[in-house]
């Protein structure tokens, strides 16, 4: 809810300053903000639909066991390589 109120305030500012300065740029930005918010809502709804199709439920109690995605579970499959290992191979000096 706070994000929607902030977007409403930003849209109001865009529209007021657009009307006061006789510029259409603010009105075009004011029409862009609800479009982005609708796309954000569509992505959230798609996540729920995919979760329901894969798991059969959207109850948090039954889908909270995401296996294999923890930070330490990847150590069995891939070996951790330090990002500083390859610093000596760059053509520039650090």
Q: Please provide the DSSP assignment of 8-48 as one string.
A: HHHHHHHHHHHHHTT-SHHHHHHHHHHHHHHHHHHHHHHHH
Q: Which two tokens stand for residue 65?
A: 């066991």
User: In terms of pLDDT, which residue wins out, 4 or 46?
Assistant: 46
Least confident stretch, 1-15, 35-49, 69-83? 69-83
Least confident stretch, 10-14, 74-78, 84-88? 74-78
Listed in sequence order, the residues at least 6 apart from 10 whose beta carbon sits closer than 8 Å to its beta carbon are 33
User: In terms of pLDDT, which residue wins out, 23 or 90?
Assistant: 23
CB atoms inside a 10 Å sphere around CB 11:
19
Please state the pTM of the whole predicted model: 0.51
């Amino acid at each position: 809810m706070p994000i929607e109120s902030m977007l409403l305030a930003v849209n109001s500012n865009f529209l007021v300053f657009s009307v006061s300065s006789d510029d259409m740029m603010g009105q075009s930005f004011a029409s862009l903000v609800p479009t982005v918010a609708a796309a954000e809502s569509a992505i959230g709804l798609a996540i729920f639909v995919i979760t329901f199709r894969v798991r059969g439920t959207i109850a948090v109690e039954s889908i909270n066991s995401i296996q294999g995605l923890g930070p330490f579970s990847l150590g069995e499959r891939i070996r951790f390589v330090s990002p500083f290992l390859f610093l000596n191979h760059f053509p520039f000096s650090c």
